[in-house]
Amino acid sequence: MARMKFLCDADRCIECNACVTACKNENEVPWGINRRRVVTINDGHPGERSLSVACMHCSDAPCIAVCPVNCIYQTAEGVVLHNKDLCIGCGYCFYACPFGAPQYPQLGNFGSRGKMDKCTFCGGGPEPDNSEAEYKKYGSNRLALGKLPLCAEMCSTKALLAGDGNQVSAIYRERIVARGFGTGAWGWGKAYPGGGT
């Protein structure tokens, strides 16, 4: 199996924010944290485009390279996960990430913050699959149940695709051929340089 990837088709995204809501609900993401968000460029002008952005689970993830406590790792399927027991909330990964994916819950006044939180591709964490501890720390583990991330599964226009990178790119390629135009899959060049399979 090729690595797991996200792809947001900017020509299909209608900025409904259902992916954001689905993610927050499925994973019971705490207040102040958005693992996924919809970004709109040229808002209200010709050429307006919206993109659903979260951790892209990069093939050569810069967050892994900069983490001083080595709490971030990749699974066999290429999903980038982290261990909250090891995370010290330093924020290096946030500065390294080209997509602004890592988030930090505010713990108290004066900017004190907690452990990093980010999209897990609905893959949970290092705790036993679908255990209470895993759900509490990382949210739902849909991958272990044979299900894709809920944000992609419930996207009404199928703008947000997730799954095996080869299959996802095949679906997108088919769309581009049918449309007769295409500007490339947003973020793929940065997240998966050279294909990243």
Partner 1 sequence: MKRPLKGLSVLALALVAAASLSACRESELGRPISLEKGTYQGPRDQPLSQATLKALRERTAGQNYSGN
Q: What is the binding site for partner 1 (CB under 8 A)?
A: 1, 64-65, 69-73, 75-77, 81, 83, 85-86, 123-129, 143-148, 152-153, 158, 161-164, 167-168, 171, 174-175, 178-179
Closer residue to partner 1, CB minimum distance, 37 or 84: 84
* Minimal distance, residue 146 CB to partner 1, in Å: 3
β-strand pairing of 160-164 with 4-8: antiparallel
* Minimal distance, residue 73 CB to partner 1, in Å: 4
Gap between the Cα atoms of 158 and 11, Å rounded: 11
Closer residue to partner 1, CB minimum distance, 106 or 166: 166
Instruction: At 61, list the tokens.
Output: 């993830």
Q: What's the Cα-to-Cα distance from 36 to each of 29, 110, 122, 141, 189, rounded to whole Å?
A: 10, 26, 12, 16, 20
* Minimal distance, residue 84 CB to partner 1, in Å: 10
| Helices and strands (DSSP H and E) totals, the chain | 7, 6
- Per DSSP, the three-state class of 21 is helix
Contact 119, 23 (CB under 8 A): yes
Closer residue to partner 1, CB minimum distance, 106 or 114: 114
Closer residue to partner 1, CB minimum distance, 51 or 143: 143
The CA-CA-CA angle for residues 8, 158, 27, to 5°, reads: 75
Location of structure tokens 């990069």 = 58
Closer residue to partner 1, CB minimum distance, 41 or 170: 170
* Minimal distance, residue 28 CB to partner 1, in Å: 20
* Minimal distance, residue 179 CB to partner 1, in Å: 4
